[in-house]
Structure formats: C-alpha cells, structure tokens
Amino acid sequence: MTNEDKQTRIRPWIDPEERVTVHFLDAPDLNTTVMDCTDQLVDLSIETHVSHLKQNISVPLSQVEVTEDFSHYTRDPERPLQRQRLMLVVNEKRPPIIY
C-alpha cells in the first residue's frame, strides 16, 4: 500500500470524538485519536494510564500498516454505527512517555 493509499484510508478518521486502535511491537491495542495525516506523517494522540494525559506523536506513514479492527466499534452517536474501526500497526516500539 502506498503512502497516498494510507492517507486516503486514514483521513476520514481525523476526528477528536472517534478512536482508532494502534499496535506497537511492545504495546498492542492502544486507544488513539488521529489528529492529522499528511503524505508523509500521521499525528496521533494516544491515551495513557494517567487521566487527561495524552501522548502526542508523529509516525512516518512508511512505518504504518493500515487495517481494520473488528473487535471495536465506533462510538460517535451522531453517525451510523460501524462494527469496526481503523487499526494502525507500527512495526516499532512505542516511544517513551515524557511527563
């Protein structure tokens, strides 16, 4: 899949009210919000174990595999329910969280 294809699949998920799933090698099944997506990077805001604290990172699209997560559904009540959500697989370790 090219970066352009990945961007096309990711862009509809740029929504602060909608979650996607992200898998890192050492941290699978993370709830994340997609903040932006360019032809080179995807900007993510990852939920942490500390309330109201998010980890904001940018990941090169070349390191991301785009797929669907059938174990979660969408939660925006203003939109039709979707029985799956976007999943991004990053074949790297999760960057350390800096408080």
- The residue type of 36 is D
94, 59 in Cβ contact below 8 A? Answer: no
pLDDT confidence of residue 7: 97
pLDDT at 41: 97
pLDDT at 21 over 80: yes
The pLDDT of residue 56 is above 90: yes
CB-based burial label for 43 (10 Å; 0-12, 13-18, 19+): middle
Q: How confident is the model at residue 75 (pLDDT cuts 50, 70, 90)?
A: low
- Residue showing tokens 């074949």: 91
Q: How many residues does the chain have?
A: 99
